[in-house]
């Protein structure tokens, strides 16, 4: 299993567009896990200007990914994709560490 997070080409393209629109060409994507939801954990993602002290920093396709030391154990080996559908676009995390999910798919357990 990979110790880092992967991005699909579609996710890379979408993140490059978002970073350019927000004028954060030197920024990247923070990925984190927090408690909550009916299965115990939920993902969070946000655009950040730079890594925080202690972050695990990975660069994939020119996109910087920032993950805190606690969250990395839950998302290592995951792949982030961007899906555009009739209801709108969203990032989806395919995570090999997940053992259960809730009915709506918004939370997970490991």
User: What CATH number does residue 26 fall under?
Assistant: 2.60.300.12
User: Does some domain include residue 19?
Assistant: yes
Q: Tens of pLDDT along 74-96? A: 899 999 999 998 888 899 888 88
User: Does some domain include residue 76?
Assistant: yes
pTM: 0.84
Residue numbers of the domain that contains 71: 6-109
Residue 39 has what pLDDT?
66
Q: Tens of pLDDT along 48-77? A: 999 999 999 999 999 999 999 999 998 999
d(C-alpha 9, C-alpha 56), whole Å: 21
**Number of structural domains in the chain:** 1
User: Does some domain include residue 1?
Assistant: no
User: In this structure, are residues 55 and 70 in contact, taking their beta carbons and an 8 Å threshold?
Assistant: no
User: Does some domain include residue 52?
Assistant: yes
User: Does some domain include residue 75?
Assistant: yes
User: Does some domain include residue 24?
Assistant: yes
pLDDT-above-70 percentage for the chain: 85
Predicted confidence band at 1 (pLDDT cuts at 50, 70, 90)?
very low
Predicted confidence band at 104 (pLDDT cuts at 50, 70, 90)?
low
């Amino acid at each position: 299993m990979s110790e880092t997070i992967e991005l699909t080409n579609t996710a890379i393209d979408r993140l490059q567009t978002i970073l350019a629109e927000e004028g954060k060409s030197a920024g990247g994507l923070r990925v984190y896990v927090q408690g909550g939801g009916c299965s115990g954990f939920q993902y969070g993602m946000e655009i950040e200007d730079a890594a925080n002290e202690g972050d695990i920093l990975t660069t994939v396709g020119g996109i910087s990914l920032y993950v805190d030391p606690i969250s990395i154990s839950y998302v290592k080996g995951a792949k982030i994709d961007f899906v555009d559908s009739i209801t709108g676009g969203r990032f989806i995390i395919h995570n090999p560490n997940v053992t259960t999910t809730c009915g709506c798919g918004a939370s997970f357990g490991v």
